[in-house]
Amino acid sequence: MLKLNDLFFDEYGLSYDCVLSPSTYLYSLNVAGTSLACSNIANLYTYSKKNQNINIPLPIIFNFLGGWHHAQRSSASGYCYVNDIVICINDLKKIHTQILYIDLDLHHCDGVEEAFSDCNTNGTILIISIHHFSPGFFPGTGQLPQQINMTNSKNKFNINIPLKEGICDTNYFALFKRVIESIYDLNGDQKSSANLPDVIIIQCGADVLVGDPHKVFNLTPTSIINCVNFINTHFCQKLNIPLIILGGGGYNFADTSRCWVQLVASLSNMTLDNDIPEHTYFPLYGPSYELSITPGLKKDSNDQAYLNFIVNSIKEQIK
């Protein structure tokens, strides 16, 4: 039988996967504070660019402590005690007029979508989430509007890309590229388009990797790196706008580290040795002790017909 305290904590999501500990409050402050620091840097850059009174280089801002996209306004959820992404976006709105948020995590960004679902009818914030969806898979949201018979103006700015099991690097990036190109005209004069972003946030959850305990997708870091580089090249560098990179899921800690360090190196134009140097946590990287990750043999259940259906559905959604 539940005690009163248990019922109280459960009401605010502070049970099961979000249990309280003595460090929860400080941890939550650090998560929110670091992502708020990211938005402060982006705001400073954009403000200085508009006013031409401070000369600072175009920033790529990393915060792998951030990216906790499930937390709701009044409850924790899915290991997320505070939704630092929502806090970051709200702060960016002080300076920026068009915010693009992209979520690459295995799970749908239900907390972010819910936060802006009723106050984003003018499209100030465009949310794109590419994730796994199947019955019973957390958080149970993120289908295409056509799949749930719900089409309205709110959904025009919440783009969901629900994938089946086993997606491979080639199909993942090809689909991501097709979706972005269906939303934005990358071959035209981008600077003439009113809906182009003036800041971009990408959540880079590493639970999509083949070695993650979820064992859902068949991806290597190449997929995340290709997606981020595509956005950086075609938007951030071309339009001279800041890019914020956040962390997220990733429950094989060695592979998550492999992924994020390769992402930083790629965006920094650095070449890394494939052999991992010896350090305190070196044994966790066995048996290969290499930076690279090899895809598995899992079947890709996302055939070309289904991928085409996703793209065509999104084109219809944003008309």
Catalytic residues, which ones?
70
Q: What are the beta bridge partners of residue 33?
A: none
Could you count the other beta carbons within 10 Å of the beta carbon of residue 90?
Answer: 15
